[in-house]
């Protein structure tokens, strides 16, 4: 590993700044081995999120396959690095993912600014992700309806200013990398679905997110959170964060059980995944085909936005198709 780093940096080692960075990288590698270069955060036992130790024969591929960033001179996993951003009504989160999907920097988080105007949120994100460099491309999960990089609705950000906002283009301009923008529940789903049958994802946070997948393919977005759930309340109002605070955990859990039953009747899913920050407040025993998943998937699912299967979803829209009727 030392030889790889020195070989890549040798033409520039006469520059004090580059030499200093190289020495810092080598010192860090010597102190911690390679575990800081792969699989994200370790637990208290020195294990990664897969339950494997950060060193030894079972370490992830990026621990053995490093490159040196041309700009910073810092060792980094080979292949494209994806900055994944999760925009929520309560918090903004981010992390940098290797090509394998392992988190190599972050996660970092900050409270969502209020009022959560487009300018305020973008400014906060630019500051938030600075420690996560380097990255080559950006994935963003957004709490609302988005199409072709543009925000259509943002019900949980508290301002109509988002309507028509070209968020993907603005972030690309500010951060200098290509951006793909998708509904946040869809991103969470991409991080957890097994790719078998009809799979449904709901997220419990400021509001309720919703996404559907058929054999691993993302289906058209439905904003179920804005649909009536019970007694004139939408799902957002019925089981969102405000409802949890208002009625308490016990009543809120009963509401979530009713919501699950209604969604099962509507969708007839094979598997339901429940994520989001408030999923941890669920205290009832879930049915066999219902799984509570890590909220981290809202970040780690970001790597999937760059799958070739989704290229068509992010392609620029073509000209409208018009039909010409021939007159007899």
pTM, 2 dp: 0.74
Predicted confidence at residue 55, as pLDDT, reads 36
CA 103-109-114 angle, to 5 degrees, is 150
β-pairing, 82-87 with 137-142?
A: parallel
Predicted confidence at residue 143, as pLDDT, reads 93
Domains and CATH numbers, the chain: 2-77 (no CATH), 83-186 (3.30.420.40), 193-293 (3.30.420.40)
Best CA proximity match to 207, nearest among 176, 233, 183, 238? 238
Spatial CB neighbours of 29, under 8 Å, sequence gap ≥ 6: 1, 2, 37, 75
Predicted confidence at residue 79, as pLDDT, reads 81
**Residues making up the chain, counted from first to last:** 328
Predicted confidence at residue 42, as pLDDT, reads 36
Predicted confidence at residue 44, as pLDDT, reads 37
Residues of the chain with pLDDT under 70: 1-76, 318-328
Predicted confidence at residue 2, as pLDDT, reads 45
């Amino acid at each position: 590993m030392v030889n790889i780093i020195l070989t890549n940096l040798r033409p520039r080692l006469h520059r004090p700044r580059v030499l200093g960075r190289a020495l810092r990288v080598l010192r860090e590698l010597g102190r911690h081995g390679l575990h800081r270069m792969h699989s994200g955060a370790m637990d208290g036992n020195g294990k990664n999120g897969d339950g494997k130790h950060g060193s030894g024969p079972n370490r992830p591929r990026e621990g053995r396959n490093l490159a040196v960033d041309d700009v910073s001179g810092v060792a980094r996993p080979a292949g494209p690095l994806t900055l994944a951003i999760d925009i929520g009504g309560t918090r903004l989160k981010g992390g940098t993912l290797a090509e394998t999907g392992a988190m190599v920097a972050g996660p970092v988080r900050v409270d969502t600014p209020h009022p959560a105007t487009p300018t305020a949120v973008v400014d906060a994100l630019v500051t938030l992700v600075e420690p996560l460099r380097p990255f080559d491309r950006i994935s963003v999960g957004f709490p609302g309806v988005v199409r072709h990089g543009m925000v259509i609705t943002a019900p949980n950000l508290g301002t109509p200013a988002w309507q028509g906002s070209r968020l993907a283009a603005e972030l690309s301009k500010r951060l200098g990398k290509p951006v793909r923008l998708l509904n946040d529940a869809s991103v969470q789903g991409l991080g957890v679905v097994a790719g078998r049958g009809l799979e449904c994802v709901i997220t419990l946070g400021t509001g309720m997110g919703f996404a559907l997948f058929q054999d691993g393919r993302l289906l058209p977005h439905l904003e179920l959170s804005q649909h009536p759930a019970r007694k004139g309340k939408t799902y957002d109002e019925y089981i969102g964060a405000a409802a949890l605070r208002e009625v308490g955990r016990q009543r809120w859990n009963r509401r979530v059980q009713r919501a699950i039953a209604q969604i099962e009747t509507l969708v007839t899913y094979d598997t339901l995944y429940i994520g989001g920050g408030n999923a941890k407040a669920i205290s009832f025993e879930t049915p066999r085909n219902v799984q509570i998943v890590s909220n981290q998937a809202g970040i780690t699912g970001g790597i999937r936005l760059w799958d070739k299967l989704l290229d068509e979803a992010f392609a620029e829209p073509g000209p409208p198709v018009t039909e010409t009727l021939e007159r007899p």
